[in-house]
């Protein structure tokens, strides 16, 4: 059988690495991408221990040419894409009153524009992989702030809401071809990105990266006629509607 292949952005650590580990353990071949080549190579070495192929493509999500190069590299390497995992993202806090517009522009570039370019650029390969009877999935790591607002996360939440909306409309256009998108919207996950709040929320009370990876893997197991537009993953207790 032909091995399945996935392209994962932000794949060197955190949620992206957790998803990569889950897919590698299931026998997938991978392309992982992030900005730092050294960390990517270290992660790739660990993933290859599962016995699969892992391509490493450093890319900055603010660089359109780099995104195009990433798309070409994955397609050339594998000729298929069973799952595009759009995980690379940027998180910045700040109130509406004094949030710099230039910072909002960069948030939009990384969290919305880059995913759009990836989804658009990989679409021919996703369609070809799905074929007439199969399925291919786009998995976008959004945020619970796309669904439930948090103070001082107006700009961040807006970009993540845009990403979730993009998945919804993508499904209207592409799901009939066997290609569907799911936005996974977790609360605080125990990663480096959440380090700033671990004084108030202990790491062991945050969502584990492996739990997000479990949802992502479950999405890849869905068939052509099962479309999951969104999955909200929250923490227990009185945090159900908060990050």
| Catalytic residue annotation | 156
Residue with tokens 């992989």: 129
Helix intervals (H) in the chain = 14-25, 37-48, 64-78, 101-108, 114-130, 154-174, 209-220
Rounded to whole angstroms, the Cα distance separating 171 from 179 reads 8
Rounded to whole angstroms, the Cα distance separating 239 from 241 reads 5
**How many other C-beta atoms can be found within 10 angstroms of the C-beta atom of residue 76?**
9
26, two tokens: 């299931």
Residue 52 CA: distances (Å) to CA of 6, 32, 70, 129, 212:
12, 13, 19, 19, 22
Strand 5-9 with 83-86, pairing: parallel
Rounded to whole angstroms, the Cα distance separating 91 from 220 reads 26
3-state secondary structure 55-100: EECCCCCCCHHHHHHHHHHHHHHHCCCCEEEECCCCCCCECCCCCC
Order the strands of the 179-186 sheet from edge to edge.
Answer: 54-56, 29-33, 5-9, 83-86, 136-141, 179-186, 230-233
């Amino acid at each position: 059988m032909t091995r399945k292949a996935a392209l994962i952005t932000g794949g060197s650590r955190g949620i992206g690495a957790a998803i990569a580990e889950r897919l590698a353990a299931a026998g997938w071949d991978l392309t992982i991408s992030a900005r730092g080549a050294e960390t990517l190579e270290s992660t790739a070495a660990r993933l290859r221990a599962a016995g699969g192929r892992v391509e490493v493509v450093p890319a900055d999500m603010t660089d359109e040419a780099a995104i195009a190069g990433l798309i070409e590299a994955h397609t050339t390497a594998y000729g298929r894409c069973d799952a595009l995992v759009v995980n690379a993202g940027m998180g910045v806090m700040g109130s509406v009153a004094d949030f710099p517009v230039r910072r909002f522009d960069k948030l939009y570039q990384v969290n919305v524009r880059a995913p759009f370019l990836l989804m658009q650029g990989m679409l021919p390969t996703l369609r070809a992989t799905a074929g007439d009877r199969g399925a291919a999935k786009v998995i976008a790591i959004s945020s619970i702030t796309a669904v439930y607002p948090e103070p001082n996360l107006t700009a961040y939440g807006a970009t993540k809401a845009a990403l979730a909306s993009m998945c919804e409309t993508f499904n209207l256009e592409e799901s009939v071809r066997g290609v569907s998108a799911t936005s996974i919207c977790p609360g605080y996950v125990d990663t480096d990105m959440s380090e700033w709040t671990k004084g108030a929320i202990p790491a062991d009370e945050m969502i584990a990266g492996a739990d997000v990876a479990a949802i992502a893997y479950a999405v890849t197991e869905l068939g052509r006629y099962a479309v999951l537009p969104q999955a909200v993953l929250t923490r227990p207790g009185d945090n159900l509607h908060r990050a």
